[in-house]
Structure 1
Amino acid sequence: MSSARSEPHPPEPDAPTDGASDGPADGSADGPRVALKILVAGGFGVGKTTLVGAVSEIRPLRTEEALTDVSVGVDDLDGVAAKTTTTVAMDFGRITLRDGVAIYLFGTPGQERFWFMWNELSLGALGAVVLADTRRLTASFASIDYFERKGTPFVVAVNCFDEADRYEPHEIRTALALDPHVPVLLCDARHATSAKEVLVSLVEHALRLVGGSRVQGAHP
């Protein structure tokens, strides 16, 4: 695993927002009591679309397109040669936890040519999950750098692919040069229970950073 982050860098983040929603605030009974926006980020082929699809209670919105010869030399397929599609805009899903806590998931595109969308997708987000693949750990550098500079709470979730080498969280933390307070988790993005545990860990981490109390009922 690489132990230092390198170029290229994602776009400069927009100024932090207070996380307020632009939606209606009338407290209508038929809507969620608490609505949280979470980003699912990471490099190309780390499992963002898979994670969103695993936990979403609605049919997830996907903007995947087939990889073509045009992407040769543009998209880095090292370690994910079997991948045939790529997200060109975003993934979207929703999961409702107990006591009316709804999480809206936005999966960001991983390729460098789509990074310009990150500022728009991150507006109002409570935090982010950065998915990592130990076979291509450097692919997560850009997302980590972006959220660090933006000041967005994030956790790193290592998607444990069957054919990938396994490492302990402290080894991942060292390789990614993460601050001690950033949670590092192991997960399987294919399974809803594992993905939900990652989301709950992010919510709790974000609330700790802002001095808030734990969201009651925020458990799968």
Structure 2
Amino acid sequence: MTPTEPAARGAAAPTAVRPPLPVKMVIAGGFGVGKTTTVGSISEIRPLTTEAAITEVAAGVDDLSHTPHKTTTTVAMDFGCITIDSTLKLYLFGTPGQDRFGFMWDDLVEGALGGLVIVDTRRLDDCYAAVDYFEHKGIPFAVAVNAFDGRVEHALDEVRWALDIAEQVPVFTYDARERGSVRDALLVVLELALARAQG
């Protein structure tokens, strides 16, 4: 067939490849629990971070006793993305951990399909606000206990009890530094959110 001849009758027309469906997911938790590390471990692009140096004034406000080597903190958000497969792409938004930046949460969470609340078992009190926020907003979420130095201070059932987490909310350990571990944590949230949407 020459370029000027019509296409053969019944020939299949080329189909357009659909881009992956974008899905927003929020990474939340207290100060220094591993939110920035989580986004950085999994993102397929260089993460956008809004890190600022911890000044003497901030050090007097934020508890650095368990993170003595931490020199920066997120003051707006972290952003990254990961393509799950040809049909789905996660856009990750990490929240700032300090209460004084809480006014940004509503904007960051708007449109999110689900959330991952990161917990440091050495500082459970820092995680109440994130758990309460997602419960109040009715957004499906899972709780990921970050294993600092490869261990956690409390068993998972103790964490669930201490944070008063409902039975239907998954609680598990993970390592914010390990890409595979972060992937598995995000998939838990994704499956939870999709089940809620379909139900």
> So what's the TM-score if we normalise by structure 1?
0.80
What stretches of structure 1 of length at least 5 have no aligned partner? 1-27, 213-220
CA contact (8 A) 2:146 2:152 kept: no
**CA distance in structure 2 between the aligned counterparts of 1:116 and 1:54, rounded to whole angstroms:** 26
Amino acid of the residue matched to residue 133 of structure 1?
D
Q: Does 1:149 align with 2:142?
A: no
> So what's the TM-score if we normalise by structure 2?
0.88
Amino acid of the residue matched to residue 72 of structure 2?
T
| Residue 70 of structure 1, CA deviation | 1.8
| Residue 30 of structure 1, CA deviation | 6.3
Deviations 1:14-53 (A, max 9, x none): xxxxxxxxxxxxxx74632x11100000000000000000
| Residue 75 of structure 1, CA deviation | 1.4
**Corresponding residue for 1:177?**
164
Aligned residues: 184
Matched residues, percent identical? 53
Q: Between Structure 1 and Structure 2, which shows a larger proportion of strand residues?
A: 2
Q: Does 1:47 align with 2:34?
A: yes
Q: Between Structure 1 and Structure 2, which shows a larger proportion of helix residues?
A: 2
Q: Which runs of 4+ in 1 moved over 4 A?
A: none
**Helix, strand or coil at the partner of 2:198:** coil
**CA distance in structure 1 between the aligned counterparts of 2:75 and 2:84, rounded to whole angstroms:** 29
**Helix, strand or coil at the partner of 1:72:** helix
CA RMSD of aligned residues (A): 1.5
| Residue 67 of structure 1, CA deviation | 0.4
**Corresponding residue for 1:168?**
155
The alpha-carbon distance between structure 1 residues 84 and 124, as it changes in their structure 2 partners (threshold 3 A), is: same
**CA distance in structure 1 between the aligned counterparts of 2:59 and 2:156, rounded to whole angstroms:** 33
| Residue 63 of structure 1, CA deviation | 0.6
**Corresponding residue for 2:192?**
205
**Corresponding residue for 1:31?**
19
Q: Counterparts of 1:84-163 in structure 2 under 5 Å?
A: 84-162=71-149
203-212 or 54-63: bigger deviation = 203-212
**CA distance in structure 2 between the aligned counterparts of 1:176 and 1:145, rounded to whole angstroms:** 9
What stretches of structure 2 of length at least 5 have no aligned partner? 1-15
Deviations 1:164-198 (A, max 9, x none): 54433222111211110000010000000000000
> Which has the larger Rg?
2
Amino acid of the residue matched to residue 19 of structure 2?
G
**CA distance in structure 2 between the aligned counterparts of 1:116 and 1:178, rounded to whole angstroms:** 24
Amino acid of the residue matched to residue 159 of structure 2?
I
**Corresponding residue for 2:51?**
64
Which is bigger in relative contact order (C-alpha 8 A, separation at least 6)? 1
The alpha-carbon distance between structure 1 residues 165 and 186, as it changes in their structure 2 partners (threshold 3 A), is: closer
